[in-house]
Amino acid sequence: MDFSSYKLNRLSDDLLIKPFDCGRTDVNVYLLDSAKSYDKQFLSVTYTLESTTHTIAFIALTNDRITIESTPITGRWKKYFYEYLPIGKKYISYPAVKIVQLGVDKSFQRQNVGTALIDFVKKWLINNRYTGCRFLTVEGIKESLPFYEKNGFYYMTNDDVDSTTRIMYYDLRRLED
């Protein structure tokens, strides 16, 4: 998707949120009623993608980490922690940024807007490097899991298969390879 005709804004107290409806009440409420409060409390930062008349999409981000103690050290993770991650000091946790919420207005769904936002965040984290960040994580609801799989995310564990949400990750280093 070409963002050139849209404006990406960091949500602030004085930013008026333009009409938005992604079809999920909980996501709409987050953007319209909670996002500014979370920002004021330094809990998350929300970015809106806007046209002249609508909020097309938004993404809310916060800090996260992937810990050795909370991750089964088998299979894929054993490779990450013992083969792929930095030679030298082994950390007990690795820095990540978590997607708290992601919503796309109903009139813009199925047009790769969500994928474009995620791609933007991935590249932004790699290119700006204000702090160390190895992973992008998300706790996705069941309906969104195919979307995150399509965008290169892997499941953190199989322990949450029967949960209403599943934790997934994307290794930002993949963009460098």
Between 47 and 74, the more confident residue is 47
For the stretch 124-150, pLDDT in tens is: 999 988 888 889 999 999 999 999 999
CB within 8 A of 117, min separation 6: which ones?
Answer: 47, 49, 57, 59, 102, 104
Between 66 and 11, the more confident residue is 11
pLDDT above 70: residue 19: yes
3-class secondary-structure state, position 130: coil
pTM for this predicted structure: 0.88
Q: State the average pLDDT for the chain.
A: 88
Domains and CATH numbers, the chain: 3-175 (3.40.630.30)
Q: In what side-by-side order are the strands of the sheet with 154-155?
A: 7-10, 45-50, 55-67, 93-104, 135-141, 165-171, 154-155
HSE-up of residue 131 (Cα within 13 Å, Cβ side)? 8
What is the rounded CA–CA span in Å between residue 156 and residue 90? 19
